[in-house]
Amino acid sequence: MIYNTIILERKKLSAWIYLNRPNEMNSLSKSLIIELLSALREVEQDPSVRVIVLSGKGKAFCAGADLKELLTDLDRQPDGQKGILDLAGDLFDTLNHLSKPLIAALNGMTLAGGLEIAMTADIIVASEKAKIGDAHSNFGVLPGGGGSVRLPRKIGVNRAKYLLFTGDFISAEEMKNFGLVHEVTPADDLEVYVQELADKIALKSPLVLKEMKRLVTDGLEQPLEIALRQELLALKNHTRSHDFREGLSAFSEKRTPNFKGY
């Protein structure tokens, strides 16, 4: 697929996907969503990609939905094609079910749907120039990608309600203090830091990363006793894998393990 609104780059064992509508603050148009879906599905299925990074070009990571296109889309006559909200639903479903580690590198403004995309990531790193907020209330719009659901779980109910109700933007450093952002870097260092982080993660067993991600996600939705039993069962099953034996053999032989992902 030829991409016009995103850029897909492979860097070592990671794939970087940049939202690339800088003049529109990387807002989510139908074409961008379709291309982003295609790229995510491509790298998810590519065994040479072990870590996925999402970032943006220009001054924004993503400012949310393209509201002009959304309004036009809502007014169009039914034609059997998916509308922007349906496509956005597909996008968030895909993001929520990625099996590979996902890092969001917030290069700039991260608002509304952009924040919702960022919150699907396993790790968020932000430039010191990034401003982050929900912003839906500023336009009389409700969240639809997890803003009212994930944000309270990430930063606490009271802080989330403040951001949801006021539509205010806050600094990346504040979001780090709230626990949403893992690290804040100088703007010029963002990609270098994230690439080093992606490289570090990519050296781990792809099978372990996949299972760890699943266990964390599932465990949050289960009673503690059940989650602990599932974790132990996963470990027992994992002992039959190549990567389990390779990791222990490499430790014993004092060498770097060669993980295969099975």
What tens digit of pLDDT does each residue of 206-260 get?
A: 999 999 999 999 999 899 999 999 999 999 999 999 999 999 999 999 999 999 9
Query: Is the pLDDT at 78 greater than 80, yes or no?
Result: no
Q: What is the pLDDT of residue 83?
A: 85
What tens digit of pLDDT does each residue of 14-65 get?
A: 999 999 999 999 999 999 999 999 999 999 999 999 999 999 999 999 999 9
Question: What number is the average pLDDT over the span 141-152?
Answer: 94
Q: What is the pLDDT of residue 72?
A: 86
Q: What is the pLDDT of residue 73?
A: 81
Query: Is the pLDDT at 77 greater than 90, yes or no?
Result: no
Rounded to whole angstroms, the Cα distance separating 56 from 19 reads: 5
Query: Is the pLDDT at 80 greater than 90, yes or no?
Result: no
Query: Is the pLDDT at 75 greater than 80, yes or no?
Result: no
CB burial of residue 127 (10 Å; 0-12, 13-18, 19+): buried
Percent share of the chain, pLDDT over 90: 91
Quote the pTM value.
Answer: 0.93
Q: 3-class SS at 215?
A: helix
Rounded to whole angstroms, the Cα distance separating 212 from 97 reads: 13
Q: Are 110 and 92 in contact (CB under 8 A)?
A: no
Contacts of 171 by beta carbon, 8 Å cutoff, 6+ apart: 128, 130, 131, 132
Q: What is the pLDDT of residue 216?
A: 96
Question: What number is the average pLDDT over the span 118-127?
Answer: 98
What tens digit of pLDDT does each residue of 153-198 get?
A: 999 999 999 999 999 999 999 999 999 999 999 999 999 999 999 9
Query: Is the pLDDT at 82 greater than 90, yes or no?
Result: no
Beta strand extents in 25-76 (DSSP E only)? 51-56, 60-62
Query: Is the pLDDT at 135 greater than 80, yes or no?
Result: yes
Question: What number is the average pLDDT over the span 59-79?
Answer: 86
Rounded to whole angstroms, the Cα distance separating 27 from 6 reads: 11
Q: What is the pLDDT of residue 1?
A: 80
